[in-house]
Amino acid sequence: MRLEFLPFSKPCIGKEEISEVVNTLTSDWITTGPKVKRFEHEFAEAVDAPAALALSSCSAALHLALASQGIGPGDSVITTPMTFCATVQAIERAGAHPILVDVEPGTLNIDAAKVGDLAEKLTRPGAATRLKAILPVHLYGHPCEMSALVDIAREHQLAIVEDAAHALPAGYHGRPIGSQLACASVPLLTCFSFYATKSLATGEGGMLTGLPEAIDEARIWSLHGLNQDAWNRYSAEGSWYYEVVRPGFKYNMTDLQAAIGLHQLKKQSELHARRAEIARRYGAAFAGYDCFQTPSNFAHVDHAWHIYALRLCLDRLGISRNQFIDELFARKIASSVHFIPVHLHPYYREKYGYQPDDFPIAYREYQRLISLPIYPGMSDQDIDDVIGAVTGTARKYTRQRTTTGFSLPTSAVGKRVPIHAAPNAGRRITSAARRAFDVTCAAAGLILLAPVFAIVTLAIRWADGGPALYVQTRVGRGFRKFRLYKFRSMVANSPASMPLAGPDDPRITCVGKFLRAHKLDELPQLINVLKGDMQLVGVRPQLERYVQVFPEEYRALLEDRPGITDLASLKFRNEEQMFLPGSVDEQYVTQILPEKLQIALNYRRARTFFSDLEILFRTVLGFKSPSTN
């Protein structure tokens, strides 16, 4: 156990930076002056950029990049939800409308294919908005697929503004991020951050790179719209006269910041090598654990390793992501999460009406992300301590194998819904035999329950005169959609955007409450079983919006037909009563559905004919006794 707390990040400031700052303080110039000019020139050389402009922050660079391209009110810019809020704030500050596109599941960078599809729609004649730019974020220091994005921008006459806050020094197909990537036909500007945690840290600060004409335009905007800066006005070679030619901003960098940046820039190769070594050691240590997904690192990129984003496979752990972070904290290791997706923040959620699953990959991956310390000042012992804390927590909370073959957290053993048959007790039935059994039972059930169907139909129609059946599209075997039948329990024409019901939902009719309490509303799904859409025992069919949040889990589960009942249905029999005040949809996706899926995946591995029979038997008893858990 460590004695001292290991911070998440620390700047690597040496004697050279301190000496240069002192030299600046004792000079005649501390604001934007000769050292800023020198820093711009040396930075441009380092990233092979045609020109560079030093600024007060990366946020300022993003804003100026958009403004210099004439992007403003009535325009729209495509970007990613998996980023810090500054990315979207820059778009709004320019007066434009941000349009979010979901991310790739591997790198978590913006999905170029989805960008292309959206750009095609938004640039058609008569489109409601003027799409003007794409703003990709090189998340964690792993470059986006720029070749595809450049092709899209060229086809639709769009500018590209790269958020490279994490991407120094990073490269794409052998060229540094910040260079023009051999795409002179596309306006391309790149924005870097020199915040205290970044690989080049000046406390605050940023840099904008691009073609000279674009940088010259941005330079005017960066200092009140003046046609010359203070150095050009007050130096021995300057003139006092200036004119305001743009409605500009106050975004200039000072010589004090540039003094630090000059020496940080010289150390980039050394600092990056240490970050890469830490990432290599982390990757080697975590590779043997099936509860971890290590970061993507494709061969055609040079990863900057600004952030080491580890993903937890929560189905193999007995704790949540937040609890994992708490465990690391208890072991004196700081960690963080990068990022809370933009569309989950209250401001954007309320302004644009976002729902969590509007961007299902970003939402799903956010819930299992942990950022670990990775900075050059870490000692070998610090690295070992992080690895020990992470792997120790994994070993402590890895789900235990019980005698029934189900994988459960240690804390949950004894609380599961018991299935008494051992994994190999009884012969596993073939698909054909199972199908024959299901069809026979479904046909017999429809015949025997015909009087119940008639009574329920009359009761529903008596209550409000509406149709007895409710038909909804669900996702079935192989992701094929089908029409699922239920007895209607809500008022007719209830909004489809609110599929879940919480306690005392006013949409549920008096007859509907009785049907739901006794699960009689599910009986028409026997028709789905006869049609071949469903089976008797299997994972419950879901709406597409929920399947998109957990595609990998459903890819495994929907190799077979979904079912009327399963082990999770028994455990969550009184699901509606579990919701607290607030967003029912969000609670379902973050708390209930993940556990249901875990139960279904575990049961799928241990399924036998006899365990299916027991679930059916318990389900039927449940109809008679709603209190059964």
Q: What pLDDT shows up at residue 232?
A: 60
Q: Annotated catalytic, 486?
A: no
Please identify which of the residues 35, 132, 198, 486 carries the catalytic annotation.
198
Residue 594: CB partners within 8 Å, gap ≥ 6? 314, 315, 550
Q: How confident is residue 416, by pLDDT bands cut at 50, 70 and 90? A: very low
Among residues of the chain, what percentage have pLDDT more than 90? 68
Confidence of residue 405 (pLDDT cuts 50, 70, 90): very low
Between residues 412 and 13, the one the model is more confident about: 13
pLDDT above 50 for 625: no
Q: How far apart are CA 419 and CA 44, in angstroms?
A: 66
pLDDT one-digit tens code per residue, 41-62: 999 999 999 999 999 999 999 9
Which pLDDT score, from 0 to 100, does residue 422 have? 35
Question: Tell me: the pLDDT tens digits for 356-371?
Answer: 999 999 999 999 999 9
* pTM (whole model) above 0.75: no
Residue 398 corresponds to which tokens in the numbers above? 């890895």
Confidence (pLDDT) at 590? 77
The three-state (H, E, C) secondary structure of 446-495, written as one string: HHHCHHHHHHHHHHHHHHHCCCCEEEEEEECHHHCEEEEEEECCECCCCC
Tell me, letter by letter, the H, E, C secondary structure of 120-157.
HHHCCCCCCCEEEEEECECHHHCCCCHHHHHHHHHHHC
Q: SS3 of 298, please?
A: coil
What Rg do the C-alpha atoms of the chain give, in angstroms?
30
Give φ, ψ of 131 to 5 degrees: -75, 125
Domain 272-401: assigned CATH number: 3.90.1150.10
pLDDT at 233: 54
Residue 582 neighbours by CB distance under 10 Å: 9
**DSSP string over 193-256:** E--TTSSS--SS-EEEEE-HHHHHHHHHHHBTTBSS-HHHHHSTT--S---B-S---B-BPPHH
Report the DSSP pairing between strands 369-372 and 75-79. unpaired
Instruction: Please give the torsion angle defined by the CA atoms of residues 134, 138, 142 and 147, in that order, rounded to the nearest 10 degrees.
Output: 20
So what's the pLDDT on residue 521?
92
pLDDT of 504 reads 72
Residue 588 has pLDDT above 90, yes or no: no
Instruction: Find out whether 472 and 483 touch, Cβ atoms under 8 Å.
Output: yes
Q: Which class for 464: exposed (0-12), middle (13-18), buried (19 or more C-beta within 10 A)?
A: middle
Q: Are the beta carbons of 82 and 146 closer than 8 angstroms?
A: no
Whole-number pLDDT of residue 237: 62
Nearest alpha carbon to residue 375 among 324, 335, 318, 315:
335
pLDDT for res 195? 97
Predicted pLDDT at 16? 97
Q: Taking Cα atoms as reference points, which of 358, 301, 284, 304 lies closest to residue 114?
A: 358
Tens digit of pLDDT for each residue in 138-158?
999 999 999 999 999 999 999
For 496-541, the pLDDT digits (tens) are 546 677 767 788 899 989 998 888 999 999 999 999 999 999 999 9
Does residue 302 have a pLDDT over 70?
A: yes
Mean of pLDDT values over 235-263: 87
- Per-residue confidence at 129, pLDDT binned at 50, 70, 90? confident
**Residues 174, 146: contact at Cβ < 8 Å?**
no
Give the per-residue pLDDT at 428.
41
pLDDT tens-place string over residues 546-556 = 888 888 889 88
pLDDT value at position 412? 33
Q: What is the pLDDT of residue 206?
A: 98
Q: Kindly give the pairing relationship between strand 308-312 and strand 292-293.
A: antiparallel
Instruction: State residue 464's pLDDT score.
Output: 85
- Average the pLDDT over each of 217-231, 298-312, 449-463 and give the range with the smallest value: 217-231
> Which pLDDT value is given to residue 207?
98
For position 241, what pLDDT does the model report? Answer: 81
Copy the structure tokens of residue 528: 């789905």
Q: What per-residue confidence (pLDDT) applies to 234?
A: 57
Q: What is the mean pLDDT of the chain?
A: 88
Which pLDDT belongs to residue 503?
A: 67
Q: What is the pLDDT of residue 236?
A: 59
In the numeric block, which tokens belong to residue 453? 């169907």
Are 257 and 194 in contact, with CB atoms under 8 Å apart? yes
In CATH, what class is 30-268? alpha beta
Q: What are the tokens at 498?
A: 């609110």
Measured distance CA(611)–CA(614) in Å, rounded: 5
Partners of 99 in the β-ladder: 78
- pLDDT value of position 626: 35
How much is the pLDDT for 496? Answer: 52
Mean pLDDT of 313-325: 92
Query: How is the chain split into domains, by residue range?
Result: 30-268, 272-401, 431-624
**pLDDT at res. 396:** 93
What is the arithmetic mean of pLDDT over 72-90?
A: 97
Render the burial of 346-378: b for 16+ CB within 10 Å, e for the rest: eebbeeeebbbbbbbbbbbbbbbbbbbbbbbeb
Q: Is the pLDDT at 231 greater than 70, yes or no?
A: no
- d(C-alpha 317, C-alpha 576), whole Å: 26
Does pLDDT of 440 surpass 90? yes
pLDDT at 411: 34
Name the E strands within 318-421: 369-372, 400-401, 407-408
CA distance between the termini of the chain:
42
Question: Is 585 within 8 Å of 547 (Cβ atoms)?
Answer: no
